[in-house]
Structure 1
Amino acid sequence: MSKAAHGHNPAAWTGVTISFIGFCISGVAMIMPNVLLFWAGMAVVVIAGVVGKAMSIAGMGKQPSKHFAPVAEERTPVAAG
């Protein structure tokens, strides 16, 4: 898995960091019973996904690997006979 460099890019690290903060907020809200703060933390987690995807689309995500062969074109079956 280390050869694939899965997650070693700014988009992935930013998304994980923001979602970790959101889960910490929700965890604190569960200890001190605060429903509004819990859902605010969950909103931060959703925002983390949006930010990570936006950064990936902007070119800060994993770049296509040059090591993989291109997908083969679909061939039409040849009729026998």
Structure 2
Amino acid sequence: MTNPIGDPGHGHSPAAWTSVIIMLIAISIGTVALFLGEIWLVWASAGLLVLGPILGFILSKAGYGVNGPKYQPKAH
């Protein structure tokens, strides 16, 4: 049975992957910085965490999202 709204794409795009990887790096840096007591680095990683979705949105609007012209889906 097909979805009447359409397939949302599940986020398998360069924009989504870039966003998630940046956020994972930010969380990792923030966790280590908190453990070491480097509060300035915790706040810097929080800023990087906020940058992840913003960059994902910008890349999506630039055509690298699921339905963008620069996205090339891979066959499963």
For structure 1, the residue ranges without an aligned partner over 5 or more in a row are 65-81
Give me the whole-angstrom Cα distance separating, in 1, the residues matched to 2:8 and 2:67. 11
Aligned residue-pair number: 62
Larger-gyration structure (1/2): 1
Partner of 1:14: 18
Moved over 3 A (4+): none
Give me the whole-angstrom Cα distance separating, in 2, the residues matched to 1:8 and 1:38. 29
Q: Which of 36, 41, 58 in structure 1 is aligned with 2:62?
A: 58
User: What is the deviation of 1:50?
Assistant: 1.1
Instruction: Note the 1:1-80 alignment, pairs <5 A.
Output: 4-63=8-67
Scaled by the length of structure 1, what TM-score is found? 0.70
Give me the whole-angstrom Cα distance separating, in 2, the residues matched to 1:11 and 1:18. 11
Aligned CA-pair RMSD: 1.4
Give me the whole-angstrom Cα distance separating, in 2, the residues matched to 1:41 and 1:25. 6
